Structure 1
Amino acid sequence: MAALNGKLTKKLVENLGPGRHGDGAGLYLVVNPSGARRWIVRVTVKGQKNRKGAPLRTDFGLGGADIVTLYQARDRALEYRRMAKSGLNPRFNAQRYVPTFEELARQVHIDRLPTWKNPKHGQQWLNTLRDYAFPKIGRMPVDSIGQPEVLMCLSPIWTTKHETARRLAQRLKAVLDVARSSGFREGENPVTAIKEAGVLPKVKAKPVHHDAMPWRDVPAFYAELEARTATAAKALQFTILSACRTSEVLGMTWNEVDTDARLWTIPAERMKTGVQHRVPLTDEMLRIVEPMRAMASTYVFEGQKRHRPLSNMSMLMLLRRMGRDAFTVHGFRSTFRDWAAEEAGAPREVAEAALAHQVGTDVERAYARSDLLVRRRNLMDHWNSSVTLADGILEVLN
């Protein structure tokens, strides 16, 4: 049966903004604020009533618009409407459609978008499957994927790219779990079976270290940065001074800064730990950021686009241009931690709190209500003095 014509076009499907857009005859394109697009069809089943006695009107999902074309959506919607018109509930009478692994994976990705801290994390989740799973099992129905198919994805990279393979296994398992919960599969998840059977060789995880500049070399490097006027240089100076993560610094907005209280409060949703973090602002930090107010931007460190932050690669590229290829931006957190232990003699809990690391068990953290702000302010004052060579003698922090 040929699909009906409607109001939407392929171009509209790709470009319409958030909302519910009707194609006609009960078919809708739903666009989420995140940009995710999916099809639904609304039908009224002839002769059937809902619990309130009204005609039984039901919405059915037809799949994501990146997988199901406009023509396919119209064709499926027509099938559902014909069943409803004859008094058959499509929920129980539609021809059972088993999605392919790629179709379901993309739908799981859409469903989970609101749970990720930022779109980048969500895209990484999908990219892993795109690169290592879709080429091999993407077109297979999810009910036909077993241990051999999972091993086809994992085995080639299990020892050479173990961390990637481990994440791939987690994401394969998540999609296949959803397939079972949705009624498309039965039995044990093959990823779980492979893990429990010990089919894949054991790989000793190697700790990942971010190359850190020795703390004794930081003052000279900081002086080089001071001679530069680019926003990336100022952002890197502030990153070194605050010992914060790249994403925390680049996402810094003026409404998070309280100059009078000399405090920068990073909201929980922007923190890796999911816990609000207060950063004491020193004289040197304020000297770096205050001139940025003249840009009248939402972000303290504005990038090339108006009211958008600096690129997360900007500081790393600056390091390379300055001939410091051996070091990473994140490594300056390790530099600070080494300095705090070796030179400042800072108590472990104070130094870890400055880095927004969670220390101790859940019970210990429940009793440790304070974020040690006063002691951390003292520590950061000394660190900033050391970086700028304003104070040559550092006292032990008790």
Structure 2
Amino acid sequence: MALTGKLTKKLVENLGAGRHGDGGGLYLVVDPSGARRWIVRVTVKGQKNRLGAPLRTDFGLGGADVVTLNQARERALEYRRMAKQGLNPRFNAAREIPTFAEIAQQVHIDRMPTWKNAKHGQQWINTLRDYAFHKIGRMPVDSIEQPEVLMCLSPIWTEKHETARRLAQRIKIVLDVAKSKGFRSGENPVTAIHDAQVLPKVKAKPKHHKAMHWQAVPAFYADLQARDAMAAKALMFTCLTGSRTGEVLGMQWGELDFEARLWSCPADRMKGGVEHRVPLTDEMQAILEPLRAMQSDYVFEGQKRHKPLSNMAMLMLLRRMKVEGVTVHGFRSTFRDWAAEVANAPREVAEMSLAHKVGSDVERAYARSDLLERRRALITAWSNYVTGHNSDVIDLAQARFQAEN
């Protein structure tokens, strides 16, 4: 049987600032800001306050935007029953269920030591903030089911599919943690949505970074060699190694072993979370050696002392050189194309040179070698090609490029 009182749903939504009684000790409190919340006043049988009077206490029942009128009446009735039996609701009521946002924030804090870096940790919570908190953030975590999850995912499922996929994973984690703490029960709604294939299948569109034809790289590299800017040095090194922008710009002198002719990029700076060894060629070392004199913490120092170049420095250099339709990351694709079309490099050697994972988890468990010496031979051949030290190959490549264009 439904509980009744003086208030209605329409009044709850429209009453002005003040304290509005529903009956039975239940009140709707509307702040001057417009925020609305429920409280219930009860008198605990047989208990006295410090002055010896009957113990009368107010309890908050939650915001009116989250707790409905009927839910507030049911909770108020539960509190009055406990008070009538001489039980103080403060110590005997079912514990307060936290909101989705509260659990999410706690998960974020608890997992801070495990984030790959601070930026990754911030991206994790930002996704929830941007696409979930304004819809379900203030809801008790035990009241979130499939409709609420779909309310977050559906608007971006096709247009921003990768973001939506990550959002689903993060909502699932928050709800799983809530269940482990006893705030939820039953199946995770994200799992149910996935298993039932409620959302349409979205064919992933591969994102290709705009890359320079490998035939054009020697002439481009010669232009870079004529420039003194630090961005030019960094871009030369990036072209030769096929490394990612962040890996090159974050490089510090302690990662380099000139005697062993190796650059060891630590795991915490690698996308795959595994240390990557890059063979150093004569040309690479020729770029690095003069920079030692700067005695900077970073190999490619930016405008601020002991700080690396900006992530945009190399891209802006490309723009100043009027090199259109090419990205810095695209030079990885350029190297990969050359390795396949010219060097005929085995797939695993070429992929490992780019720090890509090769094979299944089982295969990688048995393949302990990173093929360093085979990769050294490949990267040396690429370096010789780029710098013009292998004229026969360059002439052949240029002839093919001109024939194709």
The letter of the residue matching 1:121 is H
SS of the residue 2:391 aligns to: coil
Matched, 1:243 2:242: yes
Aligned partner of 1:191 in structure 2 is: 190
Distance of 1:101 and 1:320 partners within structure 2: 45
Q: 1:146-185 maps to which residues of 2 (within 5 A)?
A: 146-185=145-184
- Tell me by how many angstroms 1:226 deviates: 2.1
Deviations 1:241-300 (A, max 9, x none): 011112211121101101111111122232222322211111111111112212212211
SS of the residue 2:111 aligns to: helix
Distance of 1:157 and 1:256 partners within structure 2: 41
Matched, 1:113 2:92: no
- Tell me by how many angstroms 1:360 deviates: 2.1
Q: 1:235-314 maps to which residues of 2 (within 5 A)?
A: 235-314=234-313
Identity of aligned residues (%): 74
- Tell me by how many angstroms 1:95 deviates: 6.9
Deviations 1:34-54 (A, max 9, x none): xxxxxxxxxxxxxxxxxxxxx
Distance of 1:362 and 1:277 partners within structure 2: 18
For the 8 Å contact 1:382–1:394, the answer to whether it is kept is no
Distance of 2:390 and 2:193 partners within structure 1: 58
The letter of the residue matching 2:98 is P
Distance of 2:159 and 2:261 partners within structure 1: 47
- Tell me by how many angstroms 1:150 deviates: 0.9
The letter of the residue matching 1:218 is V
* Structure 1 residues 197 and 367, CA gap change in structure 2 (3 angstroms): closer
Distance of 2:185 and 2:316 partners within structure 1: 50
The letter of the residue matching 1:313 is M
- Tell me by how many angstroms 1:224 deviates: 2.4
Distance of 2:203 and 2:137 partners within structure 1: 30
Aligned partner of 1:122 in structure 2 is: 121
For the 8 Å contact 2:255–2:263, the answer to whether it is kept is yes
Deviations 1:294-321 (A, max 9, x none): 2212211123333232222322233233
Deviations 1:54-87 (A, max 9, x none): xxxxxxxxxxxxxxxxxxxxxxxxxxxxxxxxxx
For the 8 Å contact 2:117–2:268, the answer to whether it is kept is no
What is the number of residues matched between the two proteins? 305
SS of the residue 2:251 aligns to: coil
Distance of 1:308 and 1:185 partners within structure 2: 47
Q: 1:343-358 maps to which residues of 2 (within 5 A)?
A: 343-358=342-357
Aligned partner of 1:377 in structure 2 is: 376
Deviations 1:320-341 (A, max 9, x none): 3333342221111111010011
* Structure 1 residues 219 and 96, CA gap change in structure 2 (3 angstroms): same
* Structure 1 residues 109 and 305, CA gap change in structure 2 (3 angstroms): farther
For the 8 Å contact 1:344–1:394, the answer to whether it is kept is no
Aligned partner of 2:318 in structure 1 is: 319
Unaligned runs of 5+ in 1: 1-91
Distance of 2:97 and 2:235 partners within structure 1: 51
- Tell me by how many angstroms 1:154 deviates: 0.7
The letter of the residue matching 2:126 is N
Moved over 4 A (4+): 92-95
* Structure 1 residues 94 and 248, CA gap change in structure 2 (3 angstroms): farther
Unaligned runs of 5+ in 2: 1-90, 395-405
- Tell me by how many angstroms 1:200 deviates: 1.0
Distance of 2:316 and 2:174 partners within structure 1: 37
Cα RMSD (Å):
2.1
TM-score, length-scaled by structure 2: 0.71
Distance of 2:142 and 2:302 partners within structure 1: 47
TM-score, length-scaled by structure 1: 0.72
Deviations 1:321-367 (A, max 9, x none): 33334222111111101001111122222212211222223343333
